[in-house]
Structure 1
Amino acid sequence: MNQQQKETIDLLLREGNDSDAFKHLHKWLEGNSHDGDLHYYLASTYDSKGNEKKAYPHYEKAIELGLDEEELKGAFLGLGSTYRTLGMYEESKSTLEFGLTKFPEDNALKVFYSLTLYNVREHEKAMEVLLTCLLETTQDQNILQYRNALALYSKQLNRIWV
């Protein structure tokens, strides 16, 4: 997918002309079915319009075909999140875990992973991931003053301190 095509789609979407945007994307895809970027853009567009069922096959295809690093991160996050919203929790978990093996420092992936952990009833691990991410990224001094306690508690949420 080239820059001019992206600009065309972005303009159509900004103007509220979703139907024409999707027509263009599908037309371009017919002649370029092996374009991972095009599949990713179509998936992201479906996703942003609330049509996750149509988005996830294109995320899958985009990852399979290959993307640059930034788009690949976005595709893992988009696919994992989409699976989660469709109730496909195990698929979400494995997708986000795989994404985190490739991009272990990506905090957005971590946060979406914690949401999925909640859905698969791994509540303690979800809280640990989320609290750790918060402590690594916040600048809020009201939180940072409790950094040591929160880091300790994040790994021992059910411990009773007697």
Structure 2
Amino acid sequence: MGSRHGGRVHELLAALSDLDARYPNIAEINYQLAWTYEVLDRETEAVPLYEKAIALGLPENELCGALLGLGNTLRLIGKTARAVEVLRSASAQFPDNKELDAFLALALHAAGEPTEALRTLIDILCETSEDTGITAYQRALRHHASRL
């Protein structure tokens, strides 16, 4: 939604809250409302809305975003073990979506697992980089990451 990026977040929140009051069991409304609360740094209010949106059922592309949002929001409010669990599950469900692994690395670091976080980031780098230096040393990077 462009309003989140256009400085009209409070207007968007009011409109989504109004829609949610009229249609409380629409997954997409709950997802957009959660995302908007997160943008406003109101993470605690976002968590149950992400969870409800996921439980109600979202299209695959929105489900990936909702799981990422839920996992990251849990990390931000200090529920790091649950954040890691959500993001690992999401990564397994959407293995091609490397952004999930990047947020998983953040959650792992916050959960006191910096070595696993670094391994995860090196794996992402090796899998996604088109840099000739990274691709040339990919095998060595993976080897050293496995020995951290």
- TM normalised by structure 1 equals 0.84
Measure, in 1, the Cα distance between the counterparts of 2:145 and 2:34.
Answer: 35
Query: How much is the aligned-residue C-alpha RMSD, in angstroms?
Result: 1.6
Question: Aligned residues, how many?
Answer: 148
Relative to structure 1, is the Cα distance of residues 32 and 118 closer, same or farther in structure 2, using a 3 angstrom cutoff? same
Measure, in 2, the Cα distance between the counterparts of 1:103 and 1:129.
Answer: 15
- TM normalised by structure 2 equals 0.92
Of 33, 38, 41, the match for 1:50: 41
Percent sequence identity over aligned pairs: 33
Q: Mark the runs of 5 or more structure 1 residues left unpaired by the alignment.
A: 1-5, 158-162
Of 58, 62, 67, the match for 1:71: 62
Check whether the contact 2:30–2:52 (CA below 8 A) recurs between aligned residues: yes
Structure 2 counterpart of 1:119 = 110
Measure, in 2, the Cα distance between the counterparts of 1:106 and 1:12.
Answer: 23
Q: Which structure's CA Rg is the greater one? A: 1
Structure 1 counterpart of 2:28 = 37
Measure, in 2, the Cα distance between the counterparts of 1:20 and 1:94.
Answer: 33
Q: Mark the runs of 5 or more structure 2 residues left unpaired by the alignment.
A: none
Shift in Å, 1:24: 1.3
Find out whether 1:91 has 2:82 as its counterpart.
Answer: yes
Measure, in 2, the Cα distance between the counterparts of 1:128 and 1:85.
Answer: 21
Of 107, 131, 135, the match for 1:140: 131
Shift in Å, 1:11: 4.5
Mean CA deviation greater in 114-123 or 64-73: 114-123
Shift in Å, 1:140: 1.1
Deviation track 1:30-60 (CA, whole Å, cap 9, x = no partner) reads 1111100000011111112222122111111
Deviation track 1:49-100 (CA, whole Å, cap 9, x = no partner) reads 2221221111111001010001000001000001101111011011111212
SS at match of 1:50: coil
Measure, in 1, the Cα distance between the counterparts of 2:5 and 2:121.
Answer: 33
Structure 2 counterpart of 1:160 = none
